Amino acid sequence: MTIDLKKYKPAYQSWVEESLPDYQAGNMTEIVKRYPFIEPDHVPWTPYRGHPSEQTFALVTSGGFYLKDSQPPFDTASIHGDASFREIPGTARQEDFGIAHSHYDHSLAEQDFNVIFPLRRFIELEKDAVIGRFADTNYSFSYVNDVVSLVTETIPKLITRIKSAKIDVLFLVPA
């Protein structure tokens, strides 16, 4: 899927200018209706290949998780969202997490983070030899409206880390 960033950027900037008063007033329903969504001409799809028991898996959530004692929370005040990500060790526990995402109800995730970031389930899959290995490092995003920064800056950094960790399967869990 190719994204024409030169065409998208002015539409996004116009949306920001038009939507900022509604965003500041908390009228999210209205600004979502006006958001310049990208409509792909095709969906890039790679069929799954291999055997899970021989592969390394990692998780990505868009739930806004961060390690509250060692990482800054995501920016939840900006209309642009926060295009950065946080690296989360597979050993993280419920009490380690903060959630910085202002566009979903956190109540279930605060009871059990595995509903949005199933680290424990993947550790169980590794112990049961269903998957070969669960990655030491996994990733969390929050909400992002600024697709240009996400695509040009953040995603290339994430891909570099995933490749260097020799991840075979990246499992995305949206919030």
pTM over 0.85? The answer is yes
pLDDT at 79: 94
Largest CA distance in the chain: 52
Residue 152 is classified by DSSP as I
pLDDT in tens, the chain (175 residues): 567 888 889 999 999 999 999 999 988 888 989 999 887 777 778 888 899 999 999 999 999 999 999 999 999 999 999 999 999 999 999 999 999 998 899 999 999 999 999 999 999 999 999 999 999 999 999 999 998 999 999 999 999 999 999 999 999 999 8
CA–CA distance, 106 with 100 (Å, rounded to integer): 9
Segments in 25-174 forming alpha helices (H) = 28-34, 107-111, 119-127, 147-149, 155-164
Query: How far from 154 is each of 135, 151, 160, 161, CA to CA, in Å?
Result: 20, 6, 10, 11
